[in-house]
Amino acid sequence: MPRQSIEISEKSGVRYLHFSSAWVQGAMRIQRPYVLELPYTREMMAGLLLRDPPWPRQALLIGLGAGSLAKFVYHHLPATEITAIEIDPQVVLVARLHFRLPDDPLRLRIVIADGAEYMLRGGSSYDYILVDGFDRHARAGVLDTLPFYQACRARLSSGGLVAINLLGRERGFAASVDRITRAFGGRSLAFPSCDSGNTIVFATAGDPVDLCFADLAERARQCKRETGLNLLPTVARLQKAHGLPGGRLVL
């Protein structure tokens, strides 16, 4: 993949990462570098509501960007080992220089590689796989194919979850959701679009997820107390959009 032009901008105390366009690839509030600034990144951490701690022990990020997810996990989940796959070494350098990405190879391992190739060749299993990889034209490419999603399924631990960022309910969205559904045998759920328009799809293939709305809300309150991450709006939108049949979220 050819190197792309990386640009940094700042507005109202927030620093933004761009790849040769106005489209935001990542953001950091300068005074709060470990807070998840963009709504969709907060939504991608909703897996914390679906599994019991200590979870996840092993997290895998496909796509680093400004390092927002990596930093959140590093700062708030100290027992979690993180592997981040990034195709462009320039992105890693920028994340370290401008977005406070920690340099701690014992807990945060950066692998310069193609995310799809890394998954397809097999290897270690992970408790939480976070897929957020796009080029400067907002295209996911091979990261939005049935073989890739099947590879994600194969790399999950028994309690594993995958969270996939889709850019909204536009052209190709339904086909993306269908591929994920097929790869995971129907055990997937598209969360309602968040404020940024992104849609996060969660999927699993191992231990079931079966939680009532009251438990989800209590877990969201606990998460907010422990990490500052407020997922109560996510739970409310989820209940409204899907109705949670029987008052339960089942995966």
Active-site residue set: 132
Measure CA 110 to chain center.
16
Burial of residue 78 (CB within 10 Å: 0-12, 13-18, 19+) is: exposed
CA distance 181 to 251: 11
Nearest in space to 74 (alpha carbons), one of 64, 83, 66, 82: 82
